Amino acid sequence: MTAYRPLNPPERLLMGPGPSNLHPRVYRALAAPLVGHLDPEFLSIMEDNKALLREVFRTQNRLTIPISGTGSAGMETGLACLVEPGDQVLICINGVFGQRLREVAQRCGARVTSVEAPWGEAIPPEKVEAALEGGRFKLLGIVHAETSTGVLQPVEEIARLARAHGALLLLDAVTSLGGVNLEIDAWGIDLCYSGTQKCLSCPPGLAPLTLDERAVEVIRQRRTKVQSWYLDLSMIEQYWGEERVYHHTAPVSMNYALRESLLLIHEEGLEKRWERHLQNHRALVRGLEAMGLKMVVAPAHRLPSLNTVWIPEGVQDLAARRFLLERFNLEIGGGLGAFKGRVWRVGLMGHTSTLQNVALFLTALEAALAAQGFARSPGAGVRAALGDE
């Protein structure tokens, strides 16, 4: 008989593209007693989660719920419910997750047109406007925070253009919700989805999602059934609404954890949380640049929650990341797609986003680089991050 070792995962400092570290209160919530998914106590928790998600999305949307599944389930829910075969869809692509939007839209039977920008750059509104004028699009999909490149996409003008041309605006906010400024109602976003494991500092497993009435009406007026039974919002909303019609068994413990994560944001204050992420991002950039490293994204479009930095010439990507993991118990991410082996992705999300973690990372990275012969003034990164030089 095979002997399995006891479960004892290491306690890492998670500074990659997600998940982020959890607050102790979230761990305690995960250990709370299980109840049924139609238990009155759980129904009360569901109502709390809906209200708290409206706060963090900055919306009054009635249909604001966590989908059972990761952020990609949120993406697929949005597209599967809003898109029918033959619909014209415009997708903006400047990284891996824009590419994924296009892939999912095509699988829904959409006729997809793409607007693209180089990796590490934002999508120019004028390119979007030119594309919108060339067709009759039902939906425009765009990534707010491109996790593969570290770009924070300005959204307001593109949302305005979409509405002016009669298109729904679908927004990927997986790496921005709870960490940077996001205004669903003020910007006119029709559907937005996210994930719990990034700036919300909750385990992966739920996809917060919000729809305005314009998007809800499109679902009601569909000519065909949603291709996914599991992700069909016309049925899911009946479970989360007053009817409480059984659809599937909700992940009860994950909803406990989400409630606690959202309560922590509520107590901190959303705008203060945005500012914390921004200040720690700036400290990290000061430190990296003082060490002689270069950021991938121009200052105006840098994503505070996920920072991309060019790997110095002659430095081995995997060896450096292995050094950080083995010597410091610290995880960062490597590049994806066109950036594989060329950039590091450093997350400062949610509970992980602290000045202490910035200083620890810079110290560890300096040691990892020195081990490969890349050395600058010792301690320069930490001094710059702390504002000491």
CA distance 178 to 201: 9
Q: Tokens in use for 24?
A: 């102790």
Q: CA-CA distances (angstroms) from residue 145 to 62, 252, 381? A: 24, 28, 26
Confidence of residue 174 (pLDDT cuts 50, 70, 90): very high
The reported pTM is: 0.97
Confidence check: pLDDT of 377 > 90: no
DSSP string across 203-230: -SSEEEEEE-HHHHHHHHT-SS--S-ST
Whether 2 maps to a domain, the answer reads no
Out of 267, 298, 322, pick the residue that ends a domain: 267
Q: What is the CATH number of the domain that holds 105?
A: 3.40.640.10
Q: What is the dihedral of CA 298, 19, 188, 109, to 10 degrees?
A: 100
For the segment 180-223, what is each residue's pLDDT rounded down to a tens digit? 999 999 999 999 999 999 999 999 999 999 999 999 999 999 99
Which of 218, 242, 267 terminates a domain? The answer is 267
Span 62-67, mean pLDDT?
A: 98
pLDDT at residue number 375: 78
Distance in angstroms (rounded) separating the CA atoms of residues 126 and 136: 17
Q: What percent of the chain has pLDDT over 90?
A: 97
Residue 142 lies in a domain: yes
The CATH number covering residue 319 comes to: 3.90.1150.10
Question: What pLDDT, on a 0 to 100 scale, did the predictor assign at position 376?
Answer: 77
Decide if 13 is inside a domain: no
Do residue 199 and residue 288 come from a single domain? no
Helices (H), 108-232: 125-132, 156-164, 184-187, 213-220
Domain limits at 323?
270-385
Q: Is 24 exposed, middle or buried (0-12, 13-18, 19+ CB in 10 A)?
A: exposed
Is the residue at 17 inside a domain? no
249-266 residue pLDDT tens: 999 999 999 999 999 999
What mean pLDDT, rounded, does the chain reach?
Answer: 97
175 and 300 housed in the same domain? no
Q: What is the pLDDT of residues 322-356, one digit of tens each?
A: 999 999 999 999 999 999 999 999 999 999 999 99
Say if residues 311 and 334 touch (Cβ distance below 8 Å). Answer: no
Residue at 5 is within a domain = no
124 & 55 share domain: yes
In terms of domains, do 180 and 63 share one? yes
Is residue 171 located within the same domain as residue 279? Answer: no
Q: What is the pLDDT of residue 61?
A: 98
Question: Do 250 and 285 belong together in one domain?
Answer: no
Q: Quick one: 45 and 148 in the same domain? A: yes
Query: Domain for residue 12, yes or no?
Result: no
On whether both 260 and 349 belong to a single domain, the answer is no
Residues 280 and 380 in one domain: yes
207 shares a domain with 129? yes
Q: What residues does 88 pair with on adjacent strands?
A: 111
Question: Does residue 286 share a domain with residue 230?
Answer: no
The residue with tokens 């994204």 is 297
Does 10 reside within a domain? no
Is the confidence at residue 389, as pLDDT, over 70?
no
- Give the per-residue pLDDT at 388: 67
**309 in the same domain as 221:** no
Do the domain assignments include residue 6?
no
Q: What average pLDDT does this structure show over 23-38?
A: 97
β-strand pairing of 206-211 with 63-68: antiparallel
323-to-250, 317, 336 alpha-carbon distances in Å:
40, 10, 20
pLDDT of 270-303, one tens digit each?
999 999 999 999 999 999 999 999 999 999 999 9
Say how many domains are in the chain. 2
